């Protein structure tokens, strides 16, 4: 009778563990990502061809008309089927020029900044105007993040470049190391995140059963 009671309790433990795992994965959540890769791609010779990659080591980005800034975020932990309720790209601006236009583009990235990223104007997002002061900028990129997750993209890339009629804009995550609130980020909110694949869940269940079995043997020995 005692063994049956212990077995019943062990089974309840397994069910509880699995239920917690499923509910934890399926419930909505908010996740803030920092860049997996970020750098400026330069047309140093000013001939329309990218020829240099510069990394500022402070997440600063310098964007006159011959420099474009690339920022990439890791999406590999989110499988197709995750429902994004919002995705906000945050970056701080510091520029001595007000009224300058910057174009923002998005693309399917690979987690490494390359010279070819100079031309990654795949998906236009918007043009924003600088105001000449330190400012926190936020961009709603929900639709593109959902599209990338649905396509099983490993990374989301963003390209910032001057509007063709503007020059000499300095902007970016100004002094982000001493002021963490200025850091570049991608904040994701989910309506739901898929439960594990059947094979993954089976492995998890076997592990849970093994744990319960060990506890049972220990109690009856």
Give the total number of structural domains in the chain.
2
Whether residues 92 and 160 share a domain: the answer is yes
List, as one string, the DSSP characters of 34-82: --SEEEEEE-TTSSSS--EEE--SSSEEEESTTEEEEEEEE-TTS-TT-
Structure tokens at 105: 């583009």
Whether residues 80 and 151 share a domain: the answer is yes
pTM above the 0.85 mark? no
Whether residues 129 and 208 share a domain: the answer is no
Q: In terms of residue numbers, what domain contains 52?
A: 30-192
Give me the pLDDT at residue 192, please: 79
Contacts with 86 (C-beta within 8 Å, 6 or more apart), sequence order: 140, 142, 187, 188, 189
Whether residues 12 and 62 share a domain: the answer is no
Whether residues 153 and 179 share a domain: the answer is yes
Q: What is the pLDDT of residues 46-103, one digit of tens each?
A: 788 888 887 654 444 555 567 788 899 999 999 888 999 999 999 876 665 677 778 8
What is residue 154's three-state secondary structure?
A: coil
Whether residues 154 and 219 share a domain: the answer is no
What is residue 27's three-state secondary structure?
A: coil
Whether residues 164 and 217 share a domain: the answer is no
Whether residues 154 and 211 share a domain: the answer is no
Q: What is the pLDDT of residues 114-172, one digit of tens each?
A: 999 999 999 999 988 877 776 778 999 999 999 999 999 999 999 988 766 555 444 55
Structure tokens at 138: 């936020």
Q: What is the pLDDT of residues 5-47, one digit of tens each?
A: 334 444 443 444 344 344 444 456 899 998 899 888 888 787 8
Give me the pLDDT at residue 65, please: 64
Q: Name which of 197, 125, 112 is nearest 161 in CA terms.
A: 125
Q: What is the pLDDT of residues 184-203, one digit of tens each?
A: 899 999 997 775 455 444 54
Whether residues 182 and 113 share a domain: the answer is yes
Q: What is the pLDDT of residues 105-124, one digit of tens each?
A: 999 999 999 999 999 999 99
Contacts with 15 (C-beta within 8 Å, 6 or more apart), sequence order: none
Query: Rounded to the nearest 5°, which phi and psi values hold at 141?
Result: -120, 30
């Amino acid at each position: 009778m005692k063994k049956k009671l212990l077995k019943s309790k062990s089974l309840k433990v397994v069910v509880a563990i699995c239920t917690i795992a499923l509910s934890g994965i399926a419930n909505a959540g908010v996740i803030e990502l920092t860049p997996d890769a970020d750098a400026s791609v330069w047309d140093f010779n000013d001939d329309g061809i990218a020829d240099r990659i510069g990394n500022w080591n402070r997440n600063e980005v310098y964007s006159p008309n011959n420099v474009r800034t690339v920022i990439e975020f890791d999406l590999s932990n989110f499988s197709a089927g995750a429902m994004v309720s919002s995705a906000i790209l945050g970056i701080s601006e510091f520029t001595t020029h007000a009224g300058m236009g910057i174009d923002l583009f998005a693309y399917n990235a690979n987690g490494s900044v390359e010279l070819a990223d100079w031309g990654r104007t795949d998906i236009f997002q918007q043009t924003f105007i600088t105001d000449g002061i330190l400012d926190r900028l936020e961009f709603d990129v929900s639709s593109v993040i959902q599209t990338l997750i649905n396509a099983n993209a490993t990374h989301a890339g963003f390209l910032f470049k001057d509007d063709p009629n503007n020059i000499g804009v300095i902007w970016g995550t100004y002094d982000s190391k001493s002021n963490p609130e200025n850091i570049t980020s991608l904040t994701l909110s989910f309506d739901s995140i898929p439960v594990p694949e059947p094979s993954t869940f089976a492995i998890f269940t076997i592990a849970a059963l093994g744990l319960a079995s060990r506890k049972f043997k220990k109690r009856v020995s």
